[in-house]
Chain A
Amino acid sequence: MKTRAMQIKALVLAVALGLSGGASAIDFGKLLEERLNQELNKNKQPPAEQTAPPAAQSAAASPPPENQKIDARQLGFALFGDYSPEEEARIGRQISGNLLGAVPLVPDDKLQNYVNLVGNWVAAQSGRSDVKWRFGVLDTEDINAFAAPGGYVFITKGLYRRLGNEAQLAGVLGHEIAHVTKKHHLKVLKQSSLIGALGQAASKKAKDSDQVVQNLIGNGAEIMARGLDKNAEFEADRVGIVFAARAGYEPWGLPDVLQDLAGLPAKDARTGLLFKTHPHPADRLAALGEAVDGRLDAVQGKTLADRFYRIK
């Protein structure tokens, strides 16, 4: 493992030191991309011990051009295993602050406090204590929910309004909490940061930016607009329903919400983004049904409809 890490460091150094311009840089970018893909896929396939591509050495030996700026730290994020909790929190702060720039929080402190209490209780069952969980209701009639790395979770007022009890809220928050614990966004960022860094390496128009995180996440809350892989959504349903059940809620809160969403008309301005970034609710119900089957039959949980905070 140590030698692998050193090989990769040598590669990063090669990029950081700069690439010779033109076609050779692009070739090198391609080579690096292949190498990085191997690195990213190392969990999927047994890691065959690789020798560093010979071009890496030659590129490392080439002199650094003046106006080529590669952010080594950005590449570092991408290359060296997991993000640290601090890096994760920084990334999450930036994405969340950007999202809040698009849509503010509902100015109702009682509502926000209530959602934070439910959310923190569900998150306490997630096994991730290295993040500080924060929950916010976004002031939009759009029907959606979001999560960002580092424990930031959002639900829109439009979705909140459709909920009928606390178990349903716990189910929705459980799904988002699962995105954080499974680091789904970080995996996407890891991929896109590679592409971004490689893009910078290949084009000579690298921007002079000291905003490592901003570079990493792209413009605004772009990652929220792009969404995640559909398997990540299925996984979050599977994991989230269990978080809610572990918190003492009846497990059917999330399925209830999915049933409600499945019944929405296709052409509804409020669900455009949700349906674009998630598998169809019917497909999510079906996938969850396969996973759950009779496994939660014995679970006795609460719905707490009486305590559910209603938006005026």
Chain B
Amino acid sequence: MKKTFLIKGLALLLAMGAMPALAAQGTVLRNEKLYSQPSATSKVTATAAKGASVTILAKRGGWLQVKSGSSSGWIRLLSVRAGAGGLGGAGLGDVVGAATTRSDPSRVVAVAGLRGLDDEDLKQAKFDGAELARMDAWDASAAQARSFAARGGLAAANIAALPEPRPAQQPSTWEAN
């Protein structure tokens, strides 16, 4: 499970503040501010334009510490995409991806017959009642889930639903499917 270690290593690097040599690349997804601390109440140190390349140095909660040109600071996690694929669409390989897939165990498994799921696998699938019965048996009760949450120190929080970003727009067009 070399890959798992690589991922854990990367996650750790991101979490703890990676060494610059191993830092991941990213692209800014919208015009944003860079802050001196991972908090929107801290001082704004610079701005980053949509499409700008950044080097991701560290991660803390919903914030990434990035270097963009000569400036650096903390930017919202959701305002950056990791990887060198640019703004979206056709994401090409990148530092993180190459590092994590170098010794891809699924490639080995694929030879043994296990591979990715494709359309045909799903379309040709025949109902498996025995597996479904297994799944039904795992059902956890609400009480069990509550006590599991309590053991982890999780408490239900009152958080408002997020608004739709473009309220004027029509909802999903199922006709397009």
Binding site for B on A (CB under 8 A): 37, 40, 44, 93-94, 96-105, 109, 112-113, 116-121, 124-125, 132-136, 139-144, 152, 156, 158, 161-162, 164, 166, 184, 187-188, 190-192, 218-222, 224-226, 228-232, 235, 238-239, 241-242, 245-252, 255-256, 259-260, 262-273, 280-283, 285-292, 294-297, 299, 301-302, 304, 307
A140 touches B127 (CB 8 A): no
Q: Are A241 and B162 in contact, CB atoms less than 8 angstroms apart? A: yes
Asked, given contacts A102-B121, A248-B156, whether A158 binds B131 with beta carbons under 8 Å apart, the answer is: no
A218 to B132 CA separation, bound complex (whole angstroms): 19
Take A141-B105, A263-B94, A282-B85 as given contacts and tell me if A302 and B153 are in contact as well, using a CB distance cutoff of 8 Å. yes
Closest B residue to A259 by CB, please name it: B82
Q: How large is the interface on B (under 10, 10 to 19, 20 to 34, 35 or more residues)?
A: 35 or more
Give chain A residues whose Cβ lies under 8 Å from the Cβ of B62. 250-252, 255, 296-297
B94-145 interface with A by 8 A CB criterion: 94-98, 100-101, 104-107, 109-110, 114-119, 121-129, 131-132, 134-136, 138-142, 144-145
Chain B, 140-177, CB within 8 A of any chain A CB: 140-142, 144-146, 148-149, 152-165, 170-177
B125 engages A232 (CB within 8 Å): no
Map CB proximity to A onto B46-89 as digits: 1 under 8 Å, 0 otherwise. Answer: 00000000000000011000000000000011111111011111
State how many angstroms separate the Cβ of A130 from the closest Cβ of chain B: 13
Q: Whole-angstrom distance from the CB of A90 to the nearest CB of chain B?
A: 12
- Which chain A positions have C-beta within 8 A of B132? 93, 96-97, 100
A97 touches B128 (CB 8 A): yes
Name the B residues within 8 Å of A144 (CB-CB).
117
Contact A292 B105 (CB under 8 A): no
Please give me the 8 A-B residue pairs with the lowest Cβ-Cβ distance, nearest first.
Answer: A289-B78, A248-B154, A141-B106, A102-B125, A263-B96, A282-B88, A220-B125, A120-B145
